[in-house]
Structure 1
Amino acid sequence: MLVLAGMLLVAAYPVNIIVILVLYLCGLIDLTYAKLPLFRHRVFNSFGSRHIPTKRREAYFRGYKRITLGAAFNLLTLVHYSMMAPWP
């Protein structure tokens, strides 16, 4: 059932773009929220979750999961529309 819903979401033109953008935006908001204490201490280039406070690590990982899910939907959408394009 979940696979069918995903396939319908990929095929629905205006809805799939909106869902992809919302996933990217929510992931970016989660990452910004998780790294806000680092930005306040003027640490702009930290990698990994080691420097992030333990209370905000869940938002950090959730942000990357949402961005990955948005990228997967984006790839599926590109594959779907490239298969529909006529061959020269």
Structure 2
Amino acid sequence: MIFGLGMLLVVIWPINYIVMGALYAIGLVDLVYAKLPLFRHGVLTTFGPSHIPRKRRLAYFRGYTRIALGTAFNLLVVLYYLVATS
């Protein structure tokens, strides 16, 4: 049943782009929230969670997880449209 609902999200045209955009946007919001203390101190280029405060590291990992899920969903939608049109 869950697989069927997931495939339905991939097939329905406007909903798949809304879901994909929401995953990207929420992931970006999580990353900005996690890095906000660094931005306030003027640190703009850091890589990895070592400079992020400990209580915001969960948001950092959650943001990258949501962006990865959005990318996987994006690839699934592209794959579906490539197979459906050929």
TM band (smaller chain): over 0.9
Matched, 1:65 2:65: yes
Partner of 1:80: 80
3-state secondary structure, aligned to 1:19? helix
Shift of 1:82: 0.6
Q: Give CA deviations for 1:14-45 in whole Å, capped at 9, x if unaligned.
A: 00000000000000000000000000111111
Q: Name the TM-score, length of structure 1 as normaliser.
A: 0.94
Q: Give CA deviations for 1:23-82 in whole Å, capped at 9, x if unaligned.
A: 000000000000000001111110000000001001000000100000010000000001
Partner of 2:50: 50
Query: How many percent of aligned residue pairs carry the same amino acid?
Result: 58
Shift of 1:6: 1.2
Partner of 2:9: 9
Runs of 4+ in 1 over 3 A off after TM superposition: none
3-state secondary structure, aligned to 2:42? coil
Shift of 1:2: 2.2
Q: Name the TM-score, length of structure 2 as normaliser.
A: 0.96
3-state secondary structure, aligned to 1:50? helix
Which structure 1 residue ranges, 5 or more long, are not aligned? none
Structure that is richer in helix per residue: 2
Root-mean-square deviation (CA, aligned residues, Å) is 0.8
